[in-house]
A and B are shown apart, each in its own frame.
Chain A
């Protein structure tokens, strides 16, 4: 996304000050700090907080919005817990190495948190920030300027169908649904519980909650749905190919600015065994995606950083946002039954990653037989 012009980022609409009766009357300095009586911008900005909703959402917003304020610090957008959990598993246990890893994480990964303001007031830092619209508080976060400014390369592009040869998600293409139709305020603000993974979040969306009728006569695919109920996930039949990434390196250039390098991703579709079975997710077969991680990810900062790479799989559960009613693999029983090319087999996994992915690789004997 094109960044805003520098002055556009900072321009506050007088309409906001005069007409937003809930927030417009609060003095700027009450939220941002600084000195409102000083006409010199440089000194007036001393001690300023650019984003008062990050340092202390409970105080800045929670005074009036108790629910969001109370729960927010445990939401994944704020605490990024899964990043820490996974680093704990993959990292070299040596203390000195770990310190260097932590500081690399701070630079490259942990700045991607989202504050209240980054969904409701400003564009996120990943697209260089700036006010969404003259400091108006947006009731519904603007999908393209906020959600997919962070969730862009996978979800944004899949949802809008920007990959060649692929359709957008049917919920967007035909029904114009925005993210918040499925991801509600309750989910985005957190429910107060602490989660180790995005897929553990309990108040997230579920296909079946909106599509209860698929096991009844109302569905054209009733038999098909019933045969595979709780055995294979909806995505296995309804998602299209999606991007898989195989490497990532991070570092800093000669000006001290951080960068990352990834190889061009590959479009692919792979069915594997479910690594996260639960009541909510009982299926045996799910779609898997290779994530952009590499043993040498942090080599710029410290050698041998991720010695425990094999502790967790690199092919992970995924829920692509490119649903279609009819897909290549569901348009005939035998596009899937007996079609080993769409299953994640031993030969699809590089030799150094075989061990960590053992539990998700499909043995030849478990490919469903031709109908």
Chain B
């Protein structure tokens, strides 16, 4: 009985230990997609850069309704 409890205890520690590794990993290297796409400031800056090089989306020759 006692040894079973010990095994369970060790198993528990092992499992929680394993679970902690990826959690820790996550908070260390931040997802750059989230960093940028949740910052209006950064997006404004980048979209201004892009706008300089991009042609207009609609042709000036378009006439009427589609």
Contact = CB atoms under 8 A, between A and B. Distances in A.
A12 B31 CA distance: 13
A259 B62 contact: yes
A70 to B, nearest CB: 29
Interface string A248-271: 000111011111111111000000
B51 interface: yes
Given A7-B44, A41-B46, A257-B58, A27 B63 contact: no
Given A41-B36, A261-B64, A7 B47 contact: yes
Given A261-B61, A262-B66, A39 B32 contact: yes
Interface in B26-66: 29, 31-38, 40, 43-44, 46-48, 50-51, 55-66
Nearest to A252: B59
B63 A262 contact: yes
Nearest to A39: B32
A182 interface: no
A260 B62 contact: yes
Contacts of A14: 38
B30 to A, nearest CB: 9
A263 B64 CA distance: 6
A12 B37 contact: yes
Interface string A5-49: 011001111100100000000011100101111110100100000
A87 B25 CA distance: 55
Interface in A217-267: 245, 251-253, 255-265
Contacts of A34: 33
Contacts of B32: 35-39, 44
B42 to A, nearest CB: 9
A93 to B, nearest CB: 28
A13 B34 CA distance: 10
Contacts of B31: 27-29, 36
B33 A13 contact: no
Nearest to A6: B47
Contacts of B57: 3, 128, 257
B37 to A, nearest CB: 4
A204 B62 CA distance: 33
Contacts of A41: 36, 46
B37 A253 contact: no
B38 A6 contact: no
Given A29-B33, A128-B57, A7 B66 contact: no
Contacts of B46: 7, 41
B61 A253 contact: yes
Nearest to A28: B33
Interface of A: 3, 6-7, 10-14, 17, 27-29, 32, 34-39, 41, 44, 128, 153, 245, 251-253, 255-265, 292
